[in-house]
Structure 1
Amino acid sequence: MAVSGTEKNGVNTEDEHLNNSLTNPGLISPDKEDMTRLLTVPFSGRIRGGMRPGKKIIVMGIVDPDPESFCVSLTCGRGSEAGPPKDVALELCARFADRQFLRRACISGVWGEEEAAIAYFPFIQDQPFRMEVHCEHQRFRVFVDGHQLFDFYHRVASLLTIDSVTIRGSLQITKLG
């Protein structure tokens, strides 16, 4: 889903159209015309002002009945339609076949090693979940259904450059903030 950068009376239309289901005005809908498609997967949206310590991203959804995987990525810039974003500060991937919740980053086009160790796999097919990604000074803290699963230390030089979120895979998004 493309985000337009059009202006109306000197106001960026990206900034004036917030979806009522967003619990935090940090994410911006693409266009008023796309409001009905805002929470469809794959999803791509902007994080107003970039990430910073104290900010969090909340993804509420329902896992598909026969899931393969889903990924939530915090990216630095949108990249082009033909290519990936410049940097991926954090990519979280739930893989159901091997019950792993992987995380990694891509800096200057180079993917880092995947981190996989978790105490338990929190996602269940055809069931709702609430995932929170809390940004702190040195790391992201990831919670699912109120339980802290892991920390992921920042790889990007500036948190403010983390300005987009993408979601794809075997899930339905019910709320995003």
Structure 2
Amino acid sequence: MIDVENLKQYQIKRPDRWSLFGDAEDFDNLPVSHKDQIFFLDKTATDFLYEFLKVAKLIATNDNPFSKNNFKTVEHYTQMDNENGLKKWLYNRAIPFKEEVFLLGDDCILTTWKIVVKYAPDLFFSNDTVVFNSTLNWCLFYFHHDHLFFGRDNIYDTSNDQIKMDEINRLKGIYPNMKFPY
């Protein structure tokens, strides 16, 4: 598991440039209760999460991000122009609204599943974006050609344990202030 509380130390103020939540003014106009659930993370946390995602081999690098059979169940959604349908599809993934998730796209953000569902049409429209929780048991991947993939029930492969441990130990050397699951 990734230590969410540790990563909150790397929170920065909202960028003055465009973000996944629009420009600075758009973000400032969000309800306070929503802004309180959105934590932009700095470069150290961003680099760490991208490296950790790569080490965990949660996604592949082709049109089907879960083609390496990382998950027992993979669902696909393509009706991106139907905002209500998109939100309903995400809601039906049965992730608790209060669950903290990582949102990696143009920005690296720690937020809640509720925010992802609420702002989905704004978050999933241009560049590839990945959403996952600290357990890595599920992953949502938006492929920039209007395809959403949702993988659930991460398959644990013991044959790769030593490789993963070596990679995690390498990351510990690069990011000594981060807390690791092992």
TM-score category (smaller protein): under 0.3
Greater percentage in helix: 2
Structure 1 length normalisation: TM-score? 0.25
